[in-house]
Structure 1
Amino acid sequence: MTSIEQERASLVTREMAEQYREEGFFVLERALTPEQLELLRSGAQYSIDKADAAMDAEGVDRLGINARGKRYFGHMIYQDLPQLREFLFGETMAEICRATIGQEAYLFWEQYVIKAADRDTSFSWHQDSGYVHEDHEPYVTCWIALDDVTEENGAVYLLPYSRVGVRSYVKHIKDERTNDKVCYFGSDPGVPVVVPAGSIAVFSSTVMHRSGPNLTDDYRRVYVAQYSGEVITKKGSEEPVGSFERFLEGNKIVNS
């Protein structure tokens, strides 16, 4: 462990861990060091450049769910940029995993979610588990703000367990217009995560959440890292979903 990591060894407090158990989430403000923030931002630019290059090759401005200059989704970028492993398999993420999913952890998924000025970049209420299936233990999502996040530029909104009355997987319904999977149709607006760059919203895969559009002229860049306590397989199959590189074994980091 580096001296910086030792200084930040108590990043997750007992109260935060308790809030995760009771409400499904907690927020770490300014959790990243300047070096970590710069590292993740460099990956965001790589993600944008990679998507633009793919669209150039096809002669289009939209490819899959990417739209040039509007929104970008780049997953498993760490496989292209090995330097991201320092963060993904480092002590900051290890402490979050220990406080949420326990002493065993695998990297499940990693992606950049980048919103530019576009009123059609909101996401409906869903659980992350809703995009997998019901037969798995909840995993943890680390939603990492690479820019200052406001309600105007696309904040994520979290629905605490106590307010929705649900803390397990629920069936999702596909929105035919947006292709979003939706699990909540109530009037509760949720808790907005309005935080400075370098902050992390930590929430369970069973927490209902949504995000608003980016109504500003600047990018809103987010890095998402998800970890599970088990290897999650595709429904009715032995084939793993996601990455599944082992991270923690018996509470110790075994990958870096």
Structure 2
Amino acid sequence: MALTPEQVEAFHRDGYLLLESFLSHSQCDALLKRTYDIIAEADLNLHPTTTFSTRRDEESQHVKTDYFINSGDKIRFFFEEGALDGEGKLKGAVDKSLNKIGHALHALEPEFQKVALGERMGELARSLDLQKPAVVQSMVIFKQPHFGGEVNTHQDSTFLYTSPMRLYGVWIALEDADLENGCLWFAPGTHTTGIGRRMLRTVKDGRIELKFEGEDPRIDPQRFVPVPVKKGGMVLIHGEVVHKSEENKSKRSRNIFTFHMYDAGRSEWSKDNWLQPTEQLPFPHIY
């Protein structure tokens, strides 16, 4: 999966790149099967019903919880806000209520590890001239039918900051992602404007807390373009490009596998990031 010079040029120009057929349909099906097996095998009585939201403030429930902050070397479950009733209980089946599973699928689950740390990713990383690419987190993100949540405009480096900026997202459609069920939208070229907002890891009274500083760039809505992706397609995302996705109001799910990597050979991982390597799980290198 080495990129051509034209593809590398397009990525650096736009801040994103669509690669069709990165995975076969059978590979996508294997990842989906393992995802639902993980859900079926889990004792969710041991997991709080923590919801995940992309609201731009500390009112988002996950920002306040140790369950989220300490999930970097584990597999944990985060639910859609619309999936809970007034008492915080699930309205429906678990597998139809999740927003995402994260954040160490790439290290703890062989099916996902083969993709995130495999030879094809190595070829792609070499095409980008990455010296020491390290995978820092991975997720299956669900867009549930009818109420799969909107993801507000954001930059990935708001949450995962490196100096200098050498963060890259890999977003793989396990099912068709289109205008009806919540495909990605990008504002091309916005990766050249820098980071306006940071999520920062702080310690208060001996407890880790997260807070936001700064503001997101103001982008004309007309600049955004949709990027539909067929099952198995992949979108490479620059850490600073502004992007979003809409709510899924269709009858179809839009499930994806995504992970982030950075060049540990040419940039420094911020100690202020919410996500930090641990003794149990140092960030694994692709090569």
- TM bin, normalised by shorter chain, reads 0.7 to 0.9
**Identical pairs, percent:** 20
Q: Distance in 2 between matches of 1:102 and 1:188?
A: 33
The answer on whether the counterparts of 2:181 and 2:249 sit within 8 Å (CA) in structure 1 is yes
Paired amino acid for 2:51 = G
Q: What amino acid is the match of 2:192?
A: V
Separation in structure 2 between the aligned mates of residue 153 and residue 106 of structure 1, nearest angstrom: 31
Indicate the residue corresponding to 2:272 in structure 1.
Answer: 235
* SS across alignment from 2:272: coil
State the SS of the aligned residue for 2:285.
strand
* Matching residue of 2:99: 72
Whether 2:139 is the aligned partner of 1:111: answer yes
CA distance in 1, matches of 2:148, 2:32: 24
Cα distance change of structure 1 residues 153 and 48 upon mapping to structure 2, 3 Å threshold: farther
Q: 1:118: how far off?
A: 3.7
Per-residue displacement from partner, 1:63-121 (whole Å, max 9, x unpaired)?
33213424321111244422322222112211222223523211121111011124460
CA distance in 2, matches of 1:27, 1:81: 26
Give yes or no for the alignment of 1:23 onto 2:14: yes
Are 2:281 and 1:246 equivalent residues in the alignment?
no
- Partners of 1:27 and 1:100 in 2: CA distance: 15
> Are 2:252 and 1:218 aligned?
yes
Matches of 1:166 and 1:213 in 2, distance apart?
A: 27
Amino acid at match of 2:271: K
Contact kept, 8 Å, 2:25 with 2:231, in 1: the verdict is no
1:142-181 correspondence to structure 2 within 5 Å = 142-161=170-189, 164=190, 166-171=192-197
Matched residue pairs, number? 226
State the distance in 2 between where 1:184 and 1:172 align: 15
Q: Write out per-residue CA displacement over residues 114-137 of structure 1, whole angstroms, 9 at most, x where no aligned residue.
A: 111244600111000011346452
- How far residue 192 of structure 1 moved from its aligned partner, in angstroms, is 1.1
**Corresponding letter in the other structure for 2:16:** F
Whether the 8 Å CA contact 1:158–1:193 is kept in 2: the answer is yes
Partner amino acid for 2:101?
A: G
Structure 1 gaps, min length 5:
1-8, 174-178, 249-256
TM-score (normalizing by structure 1): 0.76
Q: Distance in 2 between matches of 1:170 and 1:206?
A: 10
Shift, 1:23, TM fit: 1.6
| Aligned partner of 2:120 among 92, 97, 105 | 92
Question: Which secondary structure does the structure 2 equivalent of 1:245 belong to?
Answer: coil
How much is the aligned-residue C-alpha RMSD, in angstroms? 3.0
Cα distance, 1:15 vs structure 2: 1.1
What does residue range 181-192 of structure 1 map to in structure 2 within 5 Å?
182-188=216-222, 190-192=224-226
Return 5+ residue gaps in structure 2 as ranges. 53-78, 81-93, 200-211
Displacement of 1:213: 1.0
